[in-house]
Structures are given as structure tokens and as C-alpha cells.
């Protein structure tokens, strides 16, 4: 089986794709107000339901029910076997993230109203509400832990067994706005991505030994005419068997990474436009990729929204041991970072001095990074990823990639 496109995709921006826990069923939410259920094996649209406004997130309960959160402020449940839908409740503003904890039978929703709510879907009511410092941008569940990323670079880790206060409150180790968070399959930590073309690997254990293992690396960057063009990393997805993970960015590229051996395993061909979401199937044999423009460069003509289903080769996701290959001698670094947020500034972001040798890309800036990477990182001058041909978007406008209101904000 080769890569193919799902028939009857959403008519507007795709926000989330998620596979069912036991079958190759794919749940998709979008800005056209709809939530769709696809049978991937037969490439058919099995069911759909709608909110009154764009849907920002969705998730499965079991394989027969779905939950979704919308700009219409509601959290909705839909049962596919009966076609029955019900509203669990609402927030004061748009619902940005929804997650389901199967062991406890509860739904967790995070909103732009700066709150987290716990719902009992059987009683169809809220169990509790928890105030947050800023509006929710992303959320993930790992066992009884809920990890919430908000505006202001806040990362809050809650224990569902004791929700009176966060178990841990952290500041993101990345300097710019959080875009996605996804928990490790083994429950020991999470990956975090941001709009600045970086990903961080973090661990729940607060001990100094565990925290010394965390690191961050550069990715989703293209060097063009000596300028590093930096793209938001919108999507994260972990392989359920190997623990390797996929990243998708506004450069229309999907990469697969080995977080233990600190290597990039592969890079897929460039897709027509930004990658807004991606997900592995429950057995790791398929990867769903949403190619859907996220308005990082404002309102403009763009390719149609498309969902690709890609068979996963073991060579693409299986960790490889051994040392990384020696990179070619690096070229002279450009005098400025540039590319992100408009014109380059001497010394890079915020006028900071250039990093020392060995701290570009993997290998910096956090201790424990990818050793041996060239200055400029992957895709930078002399890096391990040569400049890629094909689609090279123009540099972003002054002010950066984010439209007013951030990702998932008011549509142009």
C-alpha cells in the first residue's frame, strides 16, 4: 500500500486528526464546524456531526464515541452507533483542547477562558473547574497526569486524583509561544514544540538527575540565501511501539526523530502546505498527516486541505543505535539569524550572542543536546540537512508568524 489521500476531506482548515484505540478509524475536526469519522482501510467517510462554529479539537472516548471542543464554547459528545449527540457543557470562551481519560471515564477540556474543566460524560455534567494563568493552547494526557500549555509559556502538570492545585508549574524551556505538547508513550515525560522551530524533550520527575536529561533542538528550518527561515512546529505524534516521534511544521515537512539516541531518522517529501496535525495508528503501521494551511503568513491563496495516510516502514521509526555520522565542514555562519519575525537582528533572537561551536541545532542550547551538530543546526549552513528544493515560502512579515489571537484565533 502506498500513500493516499482520504476522500471527502473537510472544507476548511483541519485542526486535529486522531486514530481510534483499536481500529483504523480516524477522527478529524476542522474549521468548517464539522467532526468526521473515516474508515481508513476502505477510504470512506462513515459519519459526521457539527458544532455551531469551528471545531478546535476532538478525541475518541472508546471507538464508538467522540468528544469535541469548539469556538461555539461547547464540549460535545457524539455516539456513532446511535447517532445521538449531547452537550456536556460549556466554557465562557472557545474550547481549545479536549482529552479523554478512559480509566476514570472523564473528559478534560481547556479553554481560552483560562480554565480547565473535568466532565463526567455519563452524568453529562462538570465535575470541577480549575483556573489557569492564561488561555489554553494545547494539552495532553499521560495516565493520571494532564499537561497543559498556555499563553505566557506556562506549563502546568496536574494529577487527576488531586486537582486542587497543579502537581508542578513550569515555564517552558523554549523561548517562544507553545504550539503543541504530546506525552511519551511510557509516561515518563513529554515533548513540547513552539512557533520558533524548536522542540524540547522534558521529564516529569523533578529530581536533578532526571532534569539533567532534558534537552531542546532546532528543526523545521530552511536556509535560503544565507538566512535561516524558521517555521512553527504545529504537530507532534509518538509511535506507540518504538517511542520515536513525528513533527510537522509550517514548512510543509514531516520529520521522524529518535529522542533517546538524539537523531533524525527520516524526512518525508514536502507536502503541499503546512502540517497542522498528525497521528500514528494504534499499532503504529499508519501515519495520518493533515496538510492544511494555518494562516501563519496571513490570508492568501493556498492548496486545498488534504489528509494523507502514509504506511509506516519500520526503517522510518525504529531507533538506530551507534553514533551519528560526522557532518561536513560547516560553512561560515551568516551574520544574523533572521527569517523569524521579520528582519534579522545581529546576534540572533533578542540580540543574544552567537552560540559557541557545537551548540547549533541538536547539542544546544540545553545540556544533553545532540552532540556533533554543526553551528546553525539541521538545515543550517553546513548542517546535516542540505537546503531543500521545491516550496520555499517568502520570509514572514514583520511581527512574526502568529496572526492576532494566536493559532486557532479568529479566522481572517
The pLDDT, as a whole number, for residue 386 is: 36
Please state which of the ranges 43-52, 124-133, 195-204, 277-286 shows the lowest mean pLDDT. Answer: 124-133
Distance (Å, whole) CA 271 – CA 288: 13
Q: What is the pTM of this model?
A: 0.78
Q: SS3 string of the chain?
A: CCCEECCCCCCCCEEEEEECCCCCEEEEEECCCEEEEEECCCCEEEEEEECCCCEEEEEECCCCEEEEEECCCEEEEEECCCCEEEEEEECCCCEEEEEEECCCCEEEEEECCCEEEEEECCCCEEEEEEECCCCEEEEEEECCEEEEEEHHHEEEEEECCECCCCCEEEECCCCCCEEEEEECCCCCEEEEEECCCEEEEEECCCCHHHHCCCEEEECCEEEECCEEEECCEEEEEECCCCCCEEEEECCCCEEEEECCCCEEEEECCCCCCCEEEEEECCCCCEEEEEECCCCCCCCCCCCCCEEEEEECCHHHHCCCCCCCCCCCCCCCCCCECCCCCCCCCECCHHHCCCCCCCCCCCCCCCCCCCCCCCCCCCCCCCCCCCCCCCCCCCCCCCCCCCCCCCCCCCCC
39, three cell numbers: 474508515
Q: Strands 125-131 and 136-142: what pairing?
A: unpaired
Please state which of the ranges 64-73, 246-255, 384-393 shows the lowest mean pLDDT. Answer: 384-393
Residue 141 has pLDDT above 70, yes or no: yes
Q: In terms of CATH, what superfamily is 4-317?
A: YVTN repeat-like/Quinoprotein amine dehydrogenase (2.130.10.10)
402, three cell numbers: 502568529
306 touches 44 (CB < 8 A): no
pLDDT in tens, 283-302: 999 999 999 999 988 888 99
The pLDDT, as a whole number, for residue 361 is: 41
Name the residue with higher pLDDT: 361 or 147. 147
Residue 78 has pLDDT above 50, yes or no: yes
194, three cell numbers: 513552539
The pLDDT, as a whole number, for residue 195 is: 96
The pLDDT, as a whole number, for residue 322 is: 55
The pLDDT, as a whole number, for residue 299 is: 87
Distances, alpha carbon 139 to alpha carbons 174, 177, 335, in Å: 16, 14, 37
Residue 7 has pLDDT above 60, yes or no: yes
Name the residue with higher pLDDT: 342 or 72. 72
When the pLDDT of each residue in the chain is averaged and rounded to a whole number, the result is 84
The pLDDT, as a whole number, for residue 346 is: 38
User: Average pLDDT of 224-230?
Assistant: 91
Residue 98 has pLDDT above 90, yes or no: yes
The pLDDT, as a whole number, for residue 320 is: 85
Residue 204 backbone dihedrals phi, psi, to 5 degrees: -70, -40
Task: Name the nearest CA neighbour of 69 among 125, 101, 29.
Answer: 29
Residue 398 has pLDDT above 60, yes or no: no
pLDDT in tens, 320-373: 875 444 444 444 443 333 333 333 333 333 434 444 343 334 434 444 444 434
The pLDDT, as a whole number, for residue 125 is: 79
Residue 116 has pLDDT above 50, yes or no: yes
30 touches 10 (CB < 8 A): yes
The pLDDT, as a whole number, for residue 49 is: 98
The pLDDT, as a whole number, for residue 333 is: 40
The pLDDT, as a whole number, for residue 296 is: 86
The pLDDT, as a whole number, for residue 1 is: 75
User: Average pLDDT of 48-59?
Assistant: 98
**Confidence band for 124, pLDDT divided at 50, 70 and 90:** confident
Name the residue with higher pLDDT: 401 or 264. 264
Partners of 14 in the β-ladder: 30
51, three cell numbers: 458544532
The pLDDT, as a whole number, for residue 325 is: 40
35 touches 64 (CB < 8 A): no
What's the distance, CA 115 to chain centroid? 21
190, three cell numbers: 513529554
C-beta atoms surrounding 403 within 10 Å = 19
Distance (Å, whole) CA 336 – CA 315: 37
Half-sphere exposure of 219 (CA within 13 A, CB side): 33
Amino acid at each position: 500500500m502506498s500513500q493516499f489521500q482520504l476522500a471527502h476531506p473537510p472544507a476548511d482548515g483541519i485542526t486535529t486528526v486522531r486514530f481510534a484505540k483499536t481500529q483504523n478509524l480516524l477522527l478529524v475536526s476542522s474549521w468548517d464546524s464539522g467532526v468526521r469519522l473515516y474508515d481508513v482501510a476502505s477510504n470512506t467517510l462513515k459519519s459526521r456531526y457539527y458544532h455551531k462554529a469551528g471545531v478546535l479539537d476532538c478525541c475518541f472516548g472508546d471507538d464508538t464515541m467522540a468528544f469535541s471542543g469548539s469556538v461555539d464554547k461547547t464540549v460535545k459528545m457524539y455516539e456513532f452507533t446511535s447517532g445521538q449527540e449531547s452537550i456536556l457543557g460549556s466554557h465562557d470562551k472557545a474550547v481549545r483542547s479536549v482529552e479523554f481519560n478512559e480509566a476514570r471515564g472523564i473528559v478534560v477540556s481547556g479553554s481560552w477562558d483560562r480554565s480547565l474543566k473535568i466532565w463526567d460524560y455519563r452524568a453529562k455534567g462538570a465535575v470541577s473547574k480549575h483556573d489557569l494563568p492564561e488561555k489554553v493552547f494545547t494539552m495532553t494526557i499521560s495516565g493520571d497526569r494532564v499537561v497543559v500549555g498556555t499563553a505566557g509559556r506556562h506549563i502546568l502538570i496536574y494529577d487527576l486524583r488531586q486537582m486542587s492545585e497543579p502537581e508542578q508549574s513550569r515555564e517552558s524551556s523554549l523561548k517562544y509561544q507553545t504550539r503543541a505538547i504530546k506525552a511519551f508513550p511510557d509516561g515518563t515525560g513529554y515533548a513540547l514544540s513552539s512557533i520558533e522551530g524548536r522542540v524540547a524533550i522534558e521529564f516529569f520527575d523533578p529530581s536533578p538527575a532526571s532534569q539533567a536529561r532534558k534537552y531542546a533542538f532546532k528543526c523545521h528550518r530552511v536556509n535560503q540565501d544565507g538566512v535561516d527561515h524558521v517555521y512553527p512546529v504545529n504537530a507532534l505524534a509518538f509511535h506507540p511501539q518504538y517511542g520515536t516521534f513525528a513533527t510537522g511544521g509550517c514548512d510543509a515537512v514531516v520529520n521522524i526523530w529518535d529522542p533517546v539516541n538524539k537523531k533524525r531518522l527520516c524526512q518525508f517529501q514536502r507536502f503541499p502546505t503546512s502540517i497542522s496535525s498528525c497521528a500514528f495508528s494504534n499499532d503504529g503501521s499508519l501515519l495520518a498527516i493533515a496538510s492544511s494551511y494555518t494562516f501563519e503568513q496571513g490570508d492568501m491563496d493556498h492548496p486545498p486541505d488534504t489528509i494523507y495516510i502514509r504506511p509506516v516502514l519500520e526503517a522510518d521509526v525504529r531507533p538506530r543505535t551507534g553514533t551519528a555520522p560526522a557532518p561536513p565542514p560547516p560553512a561560515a555562519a551568516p551574520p544574523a539569524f533572521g527569517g523569524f519575525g521579520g528582519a534579522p537582528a545581529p546576534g540572533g533572537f533578542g540580540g543574544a550572542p552567537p552560540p559557541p561551536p557545537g551548540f547549533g541545532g541538536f547539542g544546544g542550547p540545553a545540556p544533553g543536546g545532540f552532540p556533533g551538530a554543526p553551528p546553525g543546526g539541521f538545515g543550517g549552513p553546513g548542517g546535516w540537512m542540505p537546503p531543500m528544493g521545491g516550496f520555499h515560502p517568502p520570509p514572514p512579515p514583520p511581527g512574526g508568524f502568529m496572526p492576532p489571537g494566536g493559532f486557532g484565533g479568529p479566522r481572517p
